[in-house]
Amino acid sequence: MKTYRFKKLSAMVCAGLMSLSVASMAMAAESMDVNIEDCVQMALNNNHTIKSALADYDAAVWKRHEARRTAGPTLNWTSAARRIGGAAPNDANVNALYSNTVAVSMPIYTGGQLEASMRAADLGLDASEIAIEATKQSIKAKTQAAYFKALNCRNQIKVSQESVNTIEEHLKNVNAQYSVGTVAKTDVLASQVQLSNAQLGLVSAKNNYNVAIAALNNVIGQPADTNLNLKDELDYNPYEISLDSCTQYARDNRPDILAADYKVKIAKAQEDIAGAGNKPKVNAEVSRSFAGEKPFGSDTKQTDFYYSQNTWYMGLGMSWNIFDNNVTQAKVKQSEAATLKAEENAKSLRENSDLEVRTAYLNLNAAAQSIDTAKVAVEKAKEDYKIAQVRYTAGVGTNLDVMDAESKLTTAQSNYYNALYQYNSSKADLDRAMGIMVDLDVNKFKAEPKKN
């Protein structure tokens, strides 16, 4: 008796623990109502690639700061402590010598090197900001693609569920006729097989939807088990902009093309930096030096300059690397090659941009035409299925006709939703190919930055 009670108590405890575990899992899976704008915003806020691009922008800000500060004054302090041995001049008994020099210097003329460095840093900062926009556009397009795929998978569930419901109703009709002996057993078996296939299709459709939601969660930075309730539907809004207009817009606004143009300008600035190696450099400098037996002062008792000094000077200094065995020339040639490469990359990007816009535009038009065709096919398939049902009920049609009509109806409905999906996806691809801005004013990047 005690053993029975113990087993019963153990079973109750295990059941309670399992209930708590299931409840915890249910609580852990968060539910969220979202539309496509919500998903895009979450992706922009959470994406690691965008955060990495922002870090590159911060680095460009400090590189610009470095270039500008290089043109300003610098303060340098040099100090040394030495132990002295051997015979000293004038029989001076000196064992230690300390020296300190404080100097302030500032470049006056660098042959254009500093100016070119600042120009390159300014251009690099703008290019970095454009790169952030390009990354955002890519993430937006990726999010839209994942969202539209999830919507299509949800629609395919609807199609599969309607197929199951339709075949179940037909199976009831077949069973009713079989019970009164008007149809053969083979009709029942064939309808049952078709129902099983439709149920398998429904299972597959639900799984595809779950996978699509998990992928969307990954893109927008949410836990994979988050239940997303998508508030949008795949629809058809005609696109009325011409191909030429789309192509020209992309040439003028695509961030990767703008960034490529900036890289050409940066390469040309690097040419000026390299060429400055053959030009003279002029610096202004003020310094104070003092040395002696004391760490921070001269020894007034010693008159020999070797042991005691307290001097200052100010003036200009010039250096000119007249001949460096053609090292500067080699750097200039490297910079010119880099400029040529940047120019060719910019041309290639423009050509690829035209191709991407044309491809997306043609895909969009093809999908639009497919929507109209698929919509007509759905209406005809519905009518054909009704006729097949009526003929079968009247005894003048076969069960195979009904099943074939139902299969065609399911295919037509699936094709219609696929066409809507292709249209919306192609529209998102076209927006990305054109460079539709997310949150950047592109006009300020179409001219070279002003010099401060």
Considering the domain architecture, whether residues 153 and 287 belong to the same structural domain is answered as: no
Segment 254-276 shows an average pLDDT of: 91
- Which segment of 96-105, 243-252, 435-444 scores lowest on mean pLDDT? 435-444
Q: What is the CATH number of the domain that holds 127?
A: 1.20.1600.10
The answer as to whether 451 is a domain residue is: no
Considering the domain architecture, whether residues 435 and 379 belong to the same structural domain is answered as: yes
Segment 230-246 shows an average pLDDT of: 92
Considering the domain architecture, whether residues 297 and 425 belong to the same structural domain is answered as: no
The answer as to whether 19 is a domain residue is: no
**What distances in angstroms separate CA 52 from CA 47, 56, 128, 151, 212, one per listed residue?**
9, 6, 11, 30, 26
Considering the domain architecture, whether residues 134 and 262 belong to the same structural domain is answered as: yes
CB-based contacts of 44: which residues, under 8 Å, 6+ apart? 50, 136, 139, 140, 438
Considering the domain architecture, whether residues 373 and 398 belong to the same structural domain is answered as: yes
- Which segment of 1-10, 156-165, 247-256, 349-358 scores lowest on mean pLDDT? 1-10
Query: Looking at the DSSP assignment, which residues form a beta bridge with residue 74?
Result: 105
Considering the domain architecture, whether residues 294 and 374 belong to the same structural domain is answered as: no
- Is residue 109's pLDDT more than 80? yes
pLDDT in tens, 378-421: 999 999 999 999 999 888 889 999 999 999 999 999 999 999 99
The answer as to whether 191 is a domain residue is: yes
The answer as to whether 13 is a domain residue is: no
The answer as to whether 8 is a domain residue is: no
Considering the domain architecture, whether residues 250 and 289 belong to the same structural domain is answered as: no
**How many domains does one find in the chain?**
2
pLDDT band of 18, cuts 50, 70, 90: very low
Q: What is the CATH number of the domain that holds 295?
A: 2.20.200
pLDDT in tens, 201-233: 999 999 999 999 999 999 999 999 999 999 999
The answer as to whether 26 is a domain residue is: no
Considering the domain architecture, whether residues 248 and 356 belong to the same structural domain is answered as: yes
Considering the chain, what is the average pLDDT of its residues? 86
**Residue 311: per-residue pLDDT:** 85
Considering the domain architecture, whether residues 180 and 269 belong to the same structural domain is answered as: yes
Structural element, H or E, at residue 288: strand 281-292
Percentage of the chain exceeding pLDDT 70: 87
Residue carrying the six token digits 């109806």: 409
The answer as to whether 189 is a domain residue is: yes
Percentage of the chain exceeding pLDDT 90: 57
Considering the domain architecture, whether residues 310 and 170 belong to the same structural domain is answered as: no
User: Structural domain of residue 166, as residue ranges?
Assistant: 32-71+110-279+326-445
- Is residue 375's pLDDT more than 50? yes
Considering the domain architecture, whether residues 286 and 269 belong to the same structural domain is answered as: no
The answer as to whether 394 is a domain residue is: yes
Q: Alpha helices of 70-112 — where are they, by DSSP H?
A: none
Q: Which of 266, 299, 319 is the last residue of a domain?
A: 319
Considering the domain architecture, whether residues 311 and 358 belong to the same structural domain is answered as: no
Q: Is the separation of the CB atoms in 167 and 192 below 8 Å?
A: no
pTM score: 0.79
